[in-house]
């Protein structure tokens, strides 16, 4: 399974590294058999260890192989020296260290199973890719680059309509900001320039309907969130250019769905018993207050965190290159 996950370019790179290191070691008999790159006291560091590190460094070019491999080797030597000293001091038996090792082991094994489940998913067909392209004009055919500003205003529910009316009456966002300052509203603001693919997909269609100078208002936990479109420019993407990103996105989506379905099936067929305080419903989830709602006219506005200006939201975007 691991071999199928390795990028062909990285595989070629590691082959180059192996050849370079073996030549540097000065022999083609014993060294080729052992694949040893260095000896640290009685322990060996192998070319395979170096290759494993290099495989986790995407973007490394073949011509950088030898220099990169030597840097990795020096780091592995330092690591081996630290490991040997730690074992000498019996730190590998420290309960906290043992716990971390077990946690890492469980994470690696669980991830391997998740990857195995994902490998069974079929790639999207050409028709499915074309359909996704045509169904998402805001992301491709009508793609725009958005200059956005966002305000988070602390306010009580009874103040929402007043704020909205003042925003509509303001000639600019700066005028509205001056109103907030004059009336002692606490607020924070930020701005960013984002292409369509870096906005949350769930909110993109709503944002795409905005014209320059338009704004959206939505409820926030402590008040209201205001998203203002300063300006935008058209920058469409044709299907040929979008195809690799669409294929990768749909495939990852399918893998996620397959994993969720598999884990649900495992839960349904397993005996899971919550014990102690965990046997009771989480009080925070049961008593958490629901965010205040704006009038029905604001129902289409994106949630505060869906403006695309914060890293967590941006990371949910499609990532088109």
What pLDDT score was predicted for residue 10? Answer: 41
What is the H or E stretch that residue 233 is in? strand 223-234
Between the CA atoms of 125, 130, 131 and 132, what dihedral angle is there, to the nearest 10 degrees? Answer: 90
What pLDDT score was predicted for residue 62? Answer: 82
Q: Quick one: DSSP state of residue 175?
A: H
Instruction: Provide the mean pLDDT of the chain.
Output: 81
Structure tokens belonging to residue 82: 């630290």
Distances (CA, A) of 61 to 2, 57, 66, 94, 137: 21, 10, 10, 41, 36
Lowest mean pLDDT among 12-26, 96-110, 295-309: 295-309
What pLDDT score was predicted for residue 139? Answer: 94
**What digits encode the pLDDT tens for the residues 141-154?**
999 999 999 999 99
**What digits encode the pLDDT tens for the residues 164-202?**
999 989 888 899 999 999 999 999 999 999 999 999 888
Higher pLDDT, 71 or 17: 71
Q: What is the mean pLDDT of residues 287-311?
A: 37
Q: What is the mean pLDDT of residues 129-142?
A: 95
pLDDT band at 284 (very low <50, low <70, confident <90, very high): low
- What is the share, in percent, of the chain residues with pLDDT greater than 70? 77
Distance CA 131, CA 252 (A): 17
């Amino acid at each position: 399974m691991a071999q199928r996950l390795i990028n062909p370019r990285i595989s070629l790179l590691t082959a180059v590294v192996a050849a370079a290191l073996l030549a540097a070691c000065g022999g083609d008999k014993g060294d080729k058999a052992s694949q040893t790159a260095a000896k640290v006291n009685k322990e060996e560091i192998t070319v395979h260890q170096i290759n494993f590190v290099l495989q986790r460094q995407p973007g490394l070019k073949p011509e950088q192989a030898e220099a990169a491999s030597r840097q990795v080797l020096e780091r592995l030597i330092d690591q081996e020296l630290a490991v040997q000293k730690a074992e000498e001091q019996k730190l590998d038996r420290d309960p906290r260290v043992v716990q971390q090792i077990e946690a890492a082991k469980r994470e690696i094994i669980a991830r391997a199973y998740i990857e195995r489940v994902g490998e069974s998913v079929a790639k999207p067909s050409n028709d499915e890719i074309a359909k996704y392209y045509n169904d998402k004009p805001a992301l491709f055919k009508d793609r725009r680059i958005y200059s956005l500003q966002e305000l988070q205003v602390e306010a009580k529910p009874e103040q929402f309509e007043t704020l909205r009316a003042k925003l509509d009456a303001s000639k600019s966002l700066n005028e509205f900001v001056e109103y907030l300052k004059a009336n002692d509203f606490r607020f924070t603001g930020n701005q960013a320039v984002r292409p369509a693919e870096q906005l949350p997909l769930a909110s993109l269609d709503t944002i795409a309907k905005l014209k320059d100078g338009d704004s959206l208002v939505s409820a926030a936990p402590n008040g209201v969130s205001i998203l203002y479109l300063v300006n935008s420019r058209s920058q469409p993407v044709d299907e040929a250019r979008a195809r690799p990103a669409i294929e990768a996105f749909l495939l990852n989506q399918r893998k996620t769905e397959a994993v969720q379905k598999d884990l649900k099936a495992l839960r349904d067929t397993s005996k899971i018993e919550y014990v102690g305080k965990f046997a009771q419903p989480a009080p925070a989830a049961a008593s958490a207050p629901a965010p205040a709602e704006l009038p029905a006219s604001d129902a289409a506005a994106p949630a505060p965190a869906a403006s695309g200006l914060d890293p967590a939201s941006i990371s949910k975007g499609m990532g088109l290159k």
